[in-house]
Amino acid sequence: MKIKVLIADDHTIVRAGLTALLGTEKDIEVVGEAKNGAEAVSNAVALHPDIVIMDLMMPKMDGVEATKELLRKAPSAKTILLTTYGTSDGIAHALRAGARGAVLKNADNSELAKAIRIVAQGDDYISPDIRQQLAADPPVPDLTPRQSEILESMVRGLTDRDIAELLGLSTESVSEHVGAIRQKIGAANRTEAVAIAMRKYLLKF
């Protein structure tokens, strides 16, 4: 019996390339595609794939949220991340959300098929490159919703006073949150906190 695969990526050329690549594998069948996370979830519910190949950065619903939704709505479908994402944070968040594998898009052609077979059998597969990436660039702990809100305001250039007025907080409370954010993400100052947020894609705009 063939392993049924759904490919979710917002680039048509990537989906076509992956479909062609996997079409050469005798034990793998591509049963559908999706151009965003929301479509990946709905198509998985309809098509019952064994594996969903999931890009991290997609419109409407990113790979992390789509992975969470798949666990709820199509739990038999196992997610493998396929990404060029530059930092470990998105990958780590998706793995915590339930993804069973992760492969970089610049990996050898045979590695994706290998990952599909391993995950379909019930095991996890994280490519060596991604393991090295996670070790070299450890993900920051998850921010609370309030911390994310304040960090987003910092990235937009708002002062503590501006943020306090916007969120209905005291300036002192905002300052305490900023200090907690800096400590959590390992930033020495406000400017570095903003730089880390941008580099590690900690926020969704």
- Residue 93 pLDDT level (bands cut at 50, 70, 90): confident
The 10s digit of each residue's pLDDT in 23-73 is 999 999 999 999 999 999 999 999 999 999 999 888 889 888 999 999 999
Same domain (yes/no): 86, 115:
yes
Measure the CA–CA gap between 193 and 190, rounded to whole angstroms.
5
Boundary-marking domain end, from 136, 155, 176: 136
Boundary-marking domain end, from 84, 107, 136: 136
Confidence check: pLDDT of 87 > 70: no
Q: What mean pLDDT value characterizes the chain? A: 91
What CATH number does residue 187 fall under? 1.10.10.10
Measure the CA–CA gap between 134 and 43, rounded to whole angstroms.
30
Measure the CA–CA gap between 87 and 139, rounded to whole angstroms.
8
Same domain (yes/no): 95, 132:
yes
- Residue 203 pLDDT level (bands cut at 50, 70, 90): confident
Other residues' Cβ atoms within 10 Å of the Cβ of residue 205: 5
What CATH number does residue 98 fall under? 3.40.50.2300
- Cβ–Cβ under 8 Å, residues 33 and 6: yes
- Residue 90 pLDDT level (bands cut at 50, 70, 90): confident
Boundary-marking domain end, from 96, 119, 136: 136
The percentage of residues in the chain with a pLDDT greater than 70, rounded to a whole number, is 97
- Residue 108 pLDDT level (bands cut at 50, 70, 90): confident
pLDDT of amino acid 86: 57
Q: Find the DSSP H helices in the chain.
A: 12-22, 37-47, 63-73, 88-97, 109-120, 128-136, 145-155, 160-167, 171-185, 190-199
Other residues' Cβ atoms within 10 Å of the Cβ of residue 180: 15
Confidence check: pLDDT of 170 > 70: yes
What is the extent of the structural domain holding 21? 3-136
Same domain (yes/no): 117, 165:
no
Same domain (yes/no): 149, 187:
yes
Task: Flag whether 160 is in a domain.
Answer: yes
Same domain (yes/no): 156, 128:
no
- Per-residue pLDDT, averaged over 84-113, amounts to 84
Task: Flag whether 204 is in a domain.
Answer: no
The number of domains in the chain is 2
pLDDT of amino acid 138: 74
